[in-house]
Chain A
């Protein structure tokens, strides 16, 4: 398996699994505008996933399409961050994840625009502008909920705390990204900036930045939480029940 295929799969799987979780809020969000907002954010993530998985298929060169990669791989073949697959939970949990993940994606894509790989640079150049809106949306909610009522503050804090143990995985550097120097972005290089941005929003919201805690990892190696299997069952069920069907 080539390094570039593996790397592109990481980015594509992050976007795909995040899109699936975000889309769960359609028709279930606390208000109509939020329903539309999360629907649009999920659509952006899905669009990024499609471009990335399509490219991963090309790089792999054995004829797998974006659909083959999305629908016909099992849990252990997925390379996404565990943060992306965690259940949506309370609305504030979803917003906390969006703040952490979109801020990460924004910093990543900003750098990836300079990649020597033209396709990755192109996807990043497009996505970075969309993700800026995601960061903004998450920020607005963290501020509103954190600095709102006693109950909204409590829930926002609980969301920030619950997602925190899955944040260090985003910045893990490994041999793969080092071998792809110039093409891939080493995420450890922007960990401090991520931390600075997150802290600024959390401070402003009157919540407390979560204390360091045990940090989970393994997503990049295909080790996932028990939640991914259920997510994939829903995501893949139609395509696997009717293989080859088109619509």
Chain B
């Protein structure tokens, strides 16, 4: 992983165009989600693209939910990172293709479990007018004996659950 400091100190050295792009991608990808700080925007799949338009670097990000209040901060952090790198650039937000939990990396899912949040199961939980609830494994004790307390949790992307085995409440990153 390239830290901002090493990246900043390396700036100015004549690096090959490709490796420079990869470097920008790696550095920008390390921006953390302010609401789930163990995840980076690369883990989440919020970072969609880094490309060049002339002398400018264009970073494309996409929100998890339309109203995600973290987007403004993420955009700002990406701009700061570009600034650290000494790169002229701007951030574009796109809605299409729509973000899905399928874009979350396996590394990201593993980090979520460690953090105490059950990761998305990869199956759509809502279909048709009568709801069907799928089991979510407790991230704390691993039991599949859990129940949903509320389909809406502390942020748009999470629902609130309780483990019937260890009795602990936990968040679940909703399938979208």
Contact = CB atoms under 8 A, between A and B. Distances in A.
A37 B150 contact: yes
Nearest to A132: B126
Interface string B85-104: 00000000011111110000
Nearest to B155: A40
Nearest to B97: A125
A146 to B, nearest CB: 13
B67 A43 contact: yes
A97 interface: no
A50 interface: yes
A154 interface: no
Contact of B66 (A48, A103, A200, A201): A48
SS class, residues of chain B in contact with chain A: loop
Contacts of B96: 118, 121-122, 125-126
Contacts of B151: 37, 133, 136-137, 140
A122 B96 CA distance: 5
A158 interface: no
Contact of A135 (B68, B129, B149): B129
A34 B152 CA distance: 8
B130 interface: yes
Given A33-B160, A48-B66, A130-B176, 9 more contacts: A34-B150, A43-B156, A47-B66, A48-B67, A51-B66, A125-B98, A127-B66, A137-B151, A139-B129
State the 5 A-B residue pairs at the shortest beta-carbon distance, nearest first: A47-B67, A47-B66, A122-B96, A33-B150, A37-B152
